Amino acid sequence: MNTQANRRVGPLLAPLLGVCLLAGCGTDRSADDGRANDQPPRAQEKRAREVADAWHGSAAAAAWSKGYYPMADPTRPPESGWHSDADKRAYETGNIVRRGRLPTTGITRGKVKWRSGSTLPRPLVEPNTAYQSFAHHNSAGPRLTVTGVKLGETTITTSRGTATVPAWLFTLEGYDTPLEQVAVTPSSLPGPPVGRAGQGSADGLWSVPRLARTAPDSRALTVRATHGACDDGPVVNVLETDESIVLYATVTGARSGPCTAQTIEQDVRVELRQPLADRVVLDALTARPVPYRS
């Protein structure tokens, strides 16, 4: 399989504290371990190539090509735009309340429809479950009010291109256009075609749990990478093939000695040599596709 040159990309945004996923955050390592060099360690690149080769022609690749995997935010603000900065802040913080109870529905399945003509039945979530996915708080300050909901459709970018999907259309007080929430659930991620590497082990790999921003015609991705409390942050390398983009993440400035056992998540921008298109994004640590905001 033809591969293109790998690159190293540094942190983009300030870190966010995450749930502790491992005890290896405080593992003793020399000051040089995990530090960004001109060339990534051979073991890490070898692992990325192993994952790319294993994915090619695998049962996991076949399952991925037939499933429904969103590659964009399933919640879409009103088409008319926000009336004020306060409303925008309310949406971004999830400070959204509802007036009255949301209806239940006897419809349990919907259909994903791609422009190619392919379709896929998927379970439909209840309106209240969809509401809770974007309404996280009921606190003082700017807030939005949901006054009703009905079932409709929207479009969303997926791993197989743009698809039309069922959506719950939530009416917001004071708005003529609804807030749209995709109403069908994604397919389960396929199992990895090769075993998982050891996190924080001698190969120095860390996880890339999710994609934060993508665009099929873009030569860049923004991913959420992990690192520990005793280092200077994540570094994400990329190995590109015609079929896949394998991300292999490490940390820079790892320090030895006592360290709290926690995992920090941080957005990292990854530059690509070619547009994303329909290539799958894989995590070298887990050998699984990297989902969008899982």
Residue 207 corresponds to which tokens in the numbers above? 């996880």
Average pLDDT rounded to a whole number, residues 73-84 = 95
Q: CA-CA distance, 33 to 105, in Å (whole number)?
A: 55
Query: Whole-number mean pLDDT of the chain?
Result: 84
Give the pLDDT of residue 215. 78
Residue 49 corresponds to which tokens in the numbers above? 């190539």
User: Most confidently modeled of 78-87, 216-225, 258-267?
Assistant: 78-87
Give the pLDDT of residue 259. 76
Average pLDDT rounded to a whole number, residues 202-218 = 81
Give the pLDDT of residue 199. 55
Average pLDDT rounded to a whole number, residues 117-136 = 95
If pLDDT is split at 50, 70 and 90, which confidence band does 197 have? confident
Q: CA-CA distance, 96 to 75, in Å (whole number)?
A: 13
Residue 70 corresponds to which tokens in the numbers above? 């969103």
Distance of CA 165 to CAs 11, 74, 108, 135, Å? 34, 10, 14, 21
Give the pLDDT of residue 144. 97
Give residue 195's identity as a one-letter amino acid code. Answer: G
- Is the per-residue pLDDT at 155 higher than 50? yes
- Among residues 188, 291, 202, the alpha carbon closest in space to that of 247 is found at 291
Q: CA-CA distance, 260 to 272, in Å (whole number)?
A: 34
Return the domain boundaries, the chain.
Answer: 7-66+190-283, 75-182
Q: Name the least confident of 18-32, 113-127, 168-182.
A: 18-32
Can you spell out the DSSP letters for the chain? --B---EEE-B-S--EE-----SGGG----TTTT---SS--HHHHHHHHHHHHHHTT-HHHHHHHHS--B-S-SEE--TT--SSHHHHHHHHHTBEEESSPPPP-S--EEEEEETTS-EEEEEBPPHHHHHHTT--B--SSS-EEEEEEEEEEEEEEETTEEEEEEEEEEEETT-SSPEEEE-BPPPPPPPPSSPPPPTTSTT--B---EEEE--TT-SEEEEEEEE-TTSS-EEEEEEEBSSEEEEEEEESS---S------EEEEEEEE-SS--TTPEEEETTT-SB--B--
Give the pLDDT of residue 232. 77
Residue 206 corresponds to which tokens in the numbers above? 């860390």
- Is the per-residue pLDDT at 191 higher than 60? yes
Give the pLDDT of residue 24. 36
Q: CA-CA distance, 101 to 65, in Å (whole number)?
A: 39
Give the pLDDT of residue 12. 44
- Is the per-residue pLDDT at 21 higher than 50? no
Burial of 223-240, coded b for 16+ CB within 10 Å and e otherwise, reads bbbbbbbbbbbbbbbbbb
Q: Which CATH class is domain 75-182?
A: mainly beta
Average pLDDT rounded to a whole number, residues 29-54 = 67
